[in-house]
Structure 1
């Protein structure tokens, strides 16, 4: 019975998303904001279940994967200085706003730092989806937007490691923060080395005639990588 209700609520939610998205596309609006509003409305009528949580996680994973396809590693390496300068401007202008706001609201130092991180970081998923929907991938300003997102993603990895170290140890313990940062760095380094050393092997694996098998392989790699990252922490 619970499974049937979950499937029914999921079906109704998908229909509602389609109708809202269809109308939004007719008036040339971004689907991201429309989907968020529909989700906020529907959560009052349908309970959150394991199925919906799982699908939501998959949606975020696949969106980040699509964002990665739009990004060029070569462009990053060739524009390291531009990436750093753009990211630093973004950090210096936005991060202090959260600190000041936290102080104004009477929060402590840790709470103010958390608020600053929330205000500073941009949602890569929403921005990437908006860029794709509006067909702005080839626009000159998109490069700067992607530079900001990349810098924010790298900063937030260090920021979260710092916060986790504080929460787990109850104080600003450098040991805990460094351990989390080392795990994160090792995880990314593994995939970088794998991509550089196993290019021919990977090309042979993905050279599959059957489209169905290719899709299953790609999905399994994406989900497995995300699961490994979640397990490592």
Structure 2
């Protein structure tokens, strides 16, 4: 029986599948992330509870955001936070609020509509960050704005999840619960800042004294995973914890030393996250409420584009760059899956189908964003060089 696969054999076959799909994606020029997710959906019945796959996927996503956090020192993150909150609130209203109203308009009760709004809210941090890296867009002008939106969503999404879990278990979500969550978020951020300014202030010199690369891997991966795990223990997102761990080390002089050590581990582990993500999506049978599903998909894409167009301008980006940012924020992912798992019946199936389609459409829009922006606003013409010989 395939369902009786030993855990180790299943993990090995997944790695071989990742190798083949990665090779195939290069040959056919198709995003590998989509192939990994589809692969996960196909093997879901066999490997959904594979512990090694789950552990590797956690390590992969933690290291992705740990390396992202390295790009943001405390000073830089503080200046970004001051600029991003209006755009973040616009995102909450358009992506969560209006999606809730659409669900209510299709006859859903308030609780189910809240679940639908939560599913449609958060951009996939993992997919977006991976595509930014794959497409060599990390240095683009819109990337800082996009990452700021992702971090804002990673702060809001745990609150949404906590509210939904409280309501789904029949409990009441009191204002004190919201205060408790915000206190944990602020406390974790404060801890990261304090450690970055004290314990890790001279970390670079300590790192230089470690000659064995294996020990460096254990140290750096251990820091990232421990802080991500601390966030999970507090009931927050491991993505937020990993990002803050990277931010702690951003205070050192040369982050290239950390990147050089961690990158190979991240590149090995990260594809397993998307495979495991695929195994966690529940599709059910058939397409319930197709008109509602199509309406939700169309609006949720429009909402993110509007967040980019309007929020990007508030952030100080040009019209063209703002459009490119909005088109690149459409993929939904891990938080949507977590929220969909709280749902029951039709809403659960709707959530599974929505996540797969939104992830696919979002990745396509990300890939086409530069071309669409160039078509709408025109491509910047390169300046002509003066080739005259001096003195002629």
What's the TM-score once normalised by structure 2's chain length? 0.53
1:101-140 → structure 2 map (5 Å cutoff): 101-140=102-141
Check 1:185–1:76 CA distance in 2 against 1; reply closer, same or farther (3 A cut).
closer
Q: Mean Cα displacement is larger for which, 93-102 or 122-131?
A: 93-102
Give the superposition deviation at 1:83: 1.5
> For structure 1, which runs of at least 5 residues remain unmatched after alignment?
none
Give the superposition deviation at 1:153: 1.8
> For structure 2, which runs of at least 5 residues remain unmatched after alignment?
236-392
SS, match of residue 6 in structure 2: helix
SS, match of residue 209 in structure 1: coil
Match of 2:22 in 1: 21
Match of 1:100 in 2: 101
Q: Pick the aligned partner of 2:228 from 215, 226, 229.
A: 226
For residues 67-92 of structure 1, give each alpha carbon's deviation from its aligned partner in whole angstroms, at most 9, with x where no partner exists: 32344544333344431233233233
Check 1:118–1:150 CA distance in 2 against 1; reply closer, same or farther (3 A cut).
same
Q: Mean Cα displacement is larger for which, 162-171 or 173-182?
A: 162-171
Match of 1:214 in 2: 216
Check 1:74–1:22 CA distance in 2 against 1; reply closer, same or farther (3 A cut).
farther
Higher relative contact order (CA 8 A, sep 6+): 2
Could you say what the CA RMSD is over the residues aligned between the two structures, in angstroms?
2.6
What's the TM-score once normalised by structure 1's chain length? 0.85
Structure having the higher Rg:
2
Q: Does 1:173 align with 2:174?
A: yes
The 4+ residue runs of structure 1 with deviation greater than 6 A are none
What is the distance in 2 between the residues matched to 1:168 and 1:47?
A: 25
Give the superposition deviation at 1:111: 2.7
Give the superposition deviation at 1:179: 2.0
Matched residues, number: 232
What is the distance in 2 between the residues matched to 1:184 and 1:85?
A: 19
Match of 2:195 in 1: 194
Match of 2:246 in 1: none
Q: Mean Cα displacement is larger for which, 210-219 or 82-91?
A: 82-91
Check 1:151–1:43 CA distance in 2 against 1; reply closer, same or farther (3 A cut).
same
8 A Cα contact 1:165 1:174, kept in partner: no
